[in-house]
Amino acid sequence: MTTTRSWHEGATKHLFFTGKGGVGKTSLACATAVRLADAGKQVLLVSTDPASNLAHVFGVEIDEHEPTSIVEVPGLFALNIDPEAAAQTYRDRIVGPVRGQLPTAVVAKMEEELSGACTTEIAAFDEFTALLTDPAVHERFDHIIFDTAPTGHTLRLLKLPRAWSEFLATNESGASCLGPLAGLEKQRQQYQAAVETLADGRRTSVLLVSRPQRAALGEAARTSGELKSLGVHNQRLIVNGLMPDTGSGDPLARAMRDHDAEALQNIPDALRQLPRDDVELLPMNLVGLDALRGLLGESQPLAIADDQSMTAPGADVPSLSELVDAIEADGHGLVMVLGKGGVGKTTVAAAVAVELAARGHDVHLTTTDPAAHIAETIESEVEHVQVSRIDPLVETERYRQHVLETKGKNLDDQGRALLEEDLRSPCTEEIAVFQAFSRVLREASSKFVVMDTAPTGHTLLLLDATGSYHRDVVRHMKEANRIITPMMRLQDPKQTKMLIVALPETTPVLEAAALQEDLRRAGVEPWAWVLNASLAAAGPSDPLLTARAHSELAQIEKVREQFASRLALTPWVAKEPVGPAALRELCHTAARSAKNT
């Protein structure tokens, strides 16, 4: 197989790396930024992922307000669009001018209205559109590379310029959650300019990154179609992580190559017409400049030490089924499966649900992920399992109709028209999804509900909305101790068990640990960790796979000793675990002894 890496040649002003979580967007975006800077270009690398790990990749702290110079790469600068920091700046800009001018109670109400997840998303989006349209940024940098959040979150980000442009153009009520419309002409122009920039193939290109997997390629195809509907046609496909032929004869390595070949043979038609680059699997994590430069170099030596050996992580690391034993003991409750995109949340959630159902329990398996693949993973109807999805579009329309039938019932024509206009705001979706989430929480009081969540950043916004609702209810009720809010259910381990899923690799473990701290700040204690797709647990003999497996052992021990009160390990499997039988097998498979190299 010939590996090509030509996507950086003839690069446009704006490069968006997007795709399903865990496909390697950050590594490819960082390697591209380094390559262009090494060629003498001035490059700005921007992360729009709420769970950004640019700091870990480059080994320097990345600023959230001003571009940070990557000193070892002249011409390269990096910037994180941090949603919370952006939200605070946004609130200060809106509320600051009226402090001291309006009554304290009025200012407090304004701050309360701007404290939700909707404001956080708008603020991050505001910075994103500024980078697309600011003449000073364009004059300073030859290329602006966006390392984006996983697909669902990114598609929403890319749709927002058009959504807000249309909303501002048609809103006649004089106000929105962006602030008073009278002062929004600058935003109106900025959002319209962003729409035009995204659609201009001479200025903007999108790199659809995928693994050679059915789900990832399917999502890339759907993303391609949605981008085209937004007018974004300049697209390219990068298939990352293809298993090379090392000549080892390892059955696991051979199965991986066969799996890759089958995935590419059945690539969706929507992707066949796109220019494509293939990138082979590497024996190490892409951290540090040498590794990044090697990714786009002429060769990729395995660099595996001759004396390297490895042992299995130990029989005392439980299988997923042993976690299900403890989940089952409470008889009902919500199991929330969380983590960064691409770590296998959907697979783990489906495996837990199928195992509980096999034991005779009624289970509702649902997802909040905009790019959900629950139905594809289950593949067929399973006795005792109900499958659903909290679809933002469906929930938003349901919420709109409910508000119009209740609050709008006795309004005159003008009042109803104003209410309908307000409900067209993109912020309406946040409220609708939160209400659907609350319904699922109530259902878990009498049965098992397993929830496959959206990638970390998106999920934290949902939890933030839950916390805001809780604080609002407690603030306005005289007998708060009689209230059971959704947040209180999430904080009770008898009612909700949070499973953090990660890969046994350096960066995913760090990201999962950061998620755990975010949950703890919200008063939620994670119940268990699941380290998924472990090569160390699969027992490879191929030198490349053994090198990757060897590097996992320290991470498994780190999680067990420092982070997880409960830990389960699932092995890497050559064939994607799809369908009830494969999911149950994954659930029950314990670590196999790994062979020494």
- To the query of whether residue 142 is one of the catalytic residues in this protein, the response is no
Instruction: Please state, in angstroms and rounded to a whole number, the distance separating the CA atoms of residues 279 and 263.
Output: 14
Instruction: Please state, in angstroms and rounded to a whole number, the distance separating the CA atoms of residues 284 and 68.
Output: 26
Three-class SS of 429-464: HHHHHHHHHHHHHHHCCCCEEEEECCCHHHHHHHHH
- To the query of whether residue 49 is one of the catalytic residues in this protein, the response is yes
- Among 20, 21, 27, 154, the one annotated catalytic: 27
- Among 20, 25, 345, 497, the one annotated catalytic: 25
Burial class (CB in 10 A: 0-12, 13-18, 19+), 273: exposed
**Cβ atoms of residues 84 and 47 within 8 Å:** no
Longest dimension (CA), the chain: 81
Tokens 């649900």 correspond to 353
Both tokens assigned to 306? 């001759």
- To the query of whether residue 47 is one of the catalytic residues in this protein, the response is no
- To the query of whether residue 321 is one of the catalytic residues in this protein, the response is no
- To the query of whether residue 297 is one of the catalytic residues in this protein, the response is no
- Among 24, 339, 344, 408, the one annotated catalytic: 24
∠ Cα 333 337 341 (to 5°):
165
Q: Which helix (H) or strand (E) holds 333?
A: strand 333-338
For residue 357, which of 201, 169, 580 has the smallest C-alpha distance? 580
- Among 19, 20, 26, 133, the one annotated catalytic: 26
- Among 21, 48, 49, 278, the one annotated catalytic: 49
Both tokens assigned to 276? 């494509």
- Among 18, 19, 21, 22, the one annotated catalytic: 22
**Cβ atoms of residues 591 and 314 within 8 Å:** yes
CB within 8 A of 565, min separation 6: which ones? Answer: 526, 527, 528
Strand, coil or helix: 549 = helix
- Among 48, 210, 507, 570, the one annotated catalytic: 507
- To the query of whether residue 197 is one of the catalytic residues in this protein, the response is no
Residue 43 has phi, psi (to 5 degrees) of: -125, 135
Instruction: Please state, in angstroms and rounded to a whole number, the distance separating the CA atoms of residues 472 and 519.
Output: 19
Active site residues: 22, 24-27, 49, 507
